[in-house]
């Protein structure tokens, strides 16, 4: 079984615009379904998402490579599995976005990896589970629907 999840989509907008939506805090909160997002957009910078319901999700920016006419964009961060935790080995996954020009639009790809390295004591995994149950998904769908509907 693969230790990563790869998803991609084609966006009918220029690479630069997708990069803005992907990396600017005002947009990140929206597509992540968070009430608030703060990003210090540089390697090692902190990335904080606040949910009224779940608490504060902490991530650390790994790579920031703005797209140029000759090179694709790359934005990655290490994401702690539970609110309030600092990302660190055993309690984080790596999320990596790449953006590349495709026709008039943008090929946007995300890879989340590192699931086999998760090593949380079972009794501390409540939110991690909750993050993956349908209730959480419904929140995201509601948010996604709000923007597409």
Partner 1 sequence: MTLVDPGPVFAALADPTRRSVLTRLAADGAASATALARELPVTRQAVVQHLAVLDAAGLTRAHRHGREVRHEVRPEALTGAARWMTTIARQWDDRLSAIAAIAEEPRADDARSE
Instruction: Give residues in contact with partner 1 (CB under 8 A).
Output: 1, 3, 5, 7-9, 11-13, 17-18, 20-22, 27, 30-33, 106, 108, 110, 112, 115-120, 122, 125, 128-129, 132-133, 136-137, 140-141, 143-144, 147-148
CB of 139 to partner 1, least distance (A): 10
Tell me how crowded residue 80 is: count the other CB atoms within 10 A of its CB.
Answer: 19
Q: Which CB atom, from 71 or from 132, has the smaller least distance to partner 1?
A: 132
Give the N- to C-terminal CA distance of the chain in Å, as an integer: 36
Q: Which CB atom, from 48 or from 143, has the smaller least distance to partner 1?
A: 143
Name the nearest CA neighbour of 62 among 48, 73, 72, 47: 47
The whole-angstrom distance between residue 100's C-alpha and the CA centroid of its chain comes to: 18
Strand-pair partners of 114:
none
Q: Which CB atom, from 52 or from 122, has the smaller least distance to partner 1?
A: 122
CB of 124 to partner 1, least distance (A): 10
Residues found in the chain: 149
CB of 65 to partner 1, least distance (A): 17
CB of 44 to partner 1, least distance (A): 23
Q: Rounded CA gap, 133 and 107, in Å? A: 29
């Amino acid at each position: 079984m693969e230790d990563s999840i790869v998803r991609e989509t084609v966006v009918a907008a220029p690479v630069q615009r997708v990069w803005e939506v992907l990396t600017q805090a005002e947009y990140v909160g929206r597509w992540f379904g968070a009430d608030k997002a703060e990003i210090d957009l540089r390697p090692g910078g902190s990335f904080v998402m606040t949910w009224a319901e779940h608490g504060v999700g902490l991530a650390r920016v790994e790579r920031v490579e703005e797209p140029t006419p000759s090179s694709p964009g790359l934005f990655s961060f290490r994401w702690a599995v539970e609110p309030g935790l600092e990302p660190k080995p055993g309690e984080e996954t790596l999320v990596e976005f790449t953006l590349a020009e495709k026709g008039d639009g943008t090929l946007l790809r995300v890879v989340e990896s590192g699931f086999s390295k998760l090593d949380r004591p079972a009794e501390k995994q409540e939110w991690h589970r909750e993050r993956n149950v349908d209730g959480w998904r419904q929140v995201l769908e509601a948010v996604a629907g709000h923007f597409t509907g």
